[in-house]
Amino acid sequence: MTQNNLNVFEEHESEVRSYVRGFPTVFHKAKGYKMWDLDNKEYIDFFSGAGALNYGHNDENMKKKLLEYIQEDGITHSLDMASKAKGEFLEKFHEIILKPRNLDYKVMFPGPTGANSVESALKIARKVTGRTNVVSFTKGFHGMTIGALSVTGNAFKRAGAGVPLNNATPMPYDNFMEDTDQSIKYIERMLDDSGSGMDKPAAFILETVQGEGGLNVARMEWLQEIEKICRKHDILLIVDDIQAGVGRTGTFFSFEPAGITPDIVCLSKSIGGNGSPLALTLIRPDYDRFAPGEHNGTFRGNNFAFVAAAEALNYWKDDRLEKNVQDKSKRIQEFLDDLIEKHPNMKGTHRGRGFMQGIASEVEGFSDRVTDRCFTHGLIMETAGPSDEVFKLFPPITIDDEGLEKGLAIIEKAVTEVVREKDLVTT
Ligand SMILES: *Cc1c(COP(=O)(O)O)cnc(C)c1O
């Protein structure tokens, strides 16, 4: 391919393709927070592969390790046989991530995608408790397979299943009800009263910050209350940290500041380091009860991903990266608050925390227009929420000041242009 046009995709690729429609160009190179298309136009990446590229593109150290590994004929595919690359990843994950956080989990490799991890987590919870029902939360997103969709909120995505989605009960997430106290009270009442009609669930599954659902943040107190309810009723707590984990909110796991200990944690997206497909299901040891092979998958042992993932864990040996995210998160929040104040016509509300923040606009189509404008001006950013009402800033967590400021300037320019668009209906 030398010409930058989309003919081949339009002709041969299924209608289901989506991001190519929002970012209609052919990309061919990327480094750190930058991407280039075939015309050599440069883009700042405030999308980060929807959270799969937290460390940016083509990290030098990960690249070096991968090139060495390939050069040495390191094993590529090995199902779940023991490989050196996997052993090294497991060792480092234990030493650098779990041990210092006092977390005791068995690591399961459920297959390479986030949905694989969610499916395995649901299976474990049902197997351990012998119950079928699972409590999910409004606006939650957990993936596109049938089990994962059954605990996902979005009506459009659910309808894609084509079969009834069963064995799940949706409950109000924190801030779903106007009165924030209502969520916990409602959930408690439904569980406590044997006349509520709800089957006792095997598990609660939740995100601490809802990524696809529109950057809705659960308060730490809410997460603590949820954990208490789970303990009281002997229900497993599954935290889906596929998008919010691996540093996105400023700590390795998004639930760390709440001080809770989930029974199962789903990880994927950035755990593979450089965008390599990898997923983990972290299981409390006494719930590690699958028989050998009871859940499997051909691509559980992606050794390239293990190599990059093990290298990526070096970022967590000290607190420099964490501090980078925490400091720059404040800058992002200030920028967004300021933008909301400057442009009341946007009818915006701040959403999210850490490096997953954005603005929800009540003006129909506003956020889509902003991301379109950003693309024109050389910035990749997506929308989130059930009506795409949120524009979502997702820079790599390794970004420097210069990259961040350049990106924010493009967003400011785009918003300023969109609020002036004559056909924008703001009433
Ligand atoms: C992306 C995502 C998933 C699904 O991961 P896939 O790799 O797309 O299957 C599940 N849960 C959350 C919170 C996600 O953001």
Q: 371-400: buried (b, 16+ CB within 10 Å) or exposed (e) per residue?
A: bbbbbeebbbbbbbbbebbbbbbbbbbbbe
Kind of pairing, strands 390-393 and 382-384?
Answer: antiparallel
Cα separation values, 309 from 98, 245, 385, Å: 15, 14, 30
Query: CA 347, CA 230: separation in Å to the nearest integer?
Result: 37
Q: How far is the first Cα of the chain from the last one, in angstroms, to the nearest whole number?
A: 46
Q: Is the pTM of this model over 0.85?
A: yes
Long-range contacts of 257-260 (CB under 8 A, 24+ apart): 257/220, 258/208, 258/220, 258/223, 258/224, 258/227, 259/220, 259/224, 260/223, 260/224, 260/226, 260/227
Task: Give the three-class secondary structure for 14.
Answer: coil
143 CA: nearest ligand 1 atom: 4
CB 388 within 8 Å of CB 396: no
Cα separation values, 69 from 56, 190, 363, Å: 21, 54, 51
Q: Write the residue with the smallest CA distance to atom 10 of ligand 1.
A: 142
Query: Using alpha carbons only, what angle is made at residue 186 by residues 194 and 359, rounded to the nearest 5 degrees?
Result: 150
Best mutation site among 117, 142, 205 for ligand 1 pocket (most ligand atoms within 8 Å of CB)? 142
269 CA: nearest ligand 1 atom: 7
Structural domains in the chain plus CATH codes: 1-46 (no CATH), 63-316 (3.40.640.10)
pLDDT score, position 424: 86
* Ligand 1 center to 76 CA (angstroms): 24
pLDDT score, position 422: 85
Longest dimension (CA), the chain: 66
Q: Along the chain (427 residues), what's the average pLDDT of each consecutive run of 10 residues?
A: 92 96 97 98 98 98 98 96 98 98 98 98 98 98 98 97 98 93 96 96 98 98 98 98 98 98 98 97 98 95 95 97 96 98 97 98 97 98 97 98 98 97 82
Query: 121: Cβ below 6 Å to ligand 1?
Result: no
Best mutation site among 47, 173, 268, 271 for ligand 1 pocket (most ligand atoms within 8 Å of CB)? 268
* Ligand 1 center to 148 CA (angstroms): 9
* Ligand 1 center to 52 CA (angstroms): 10
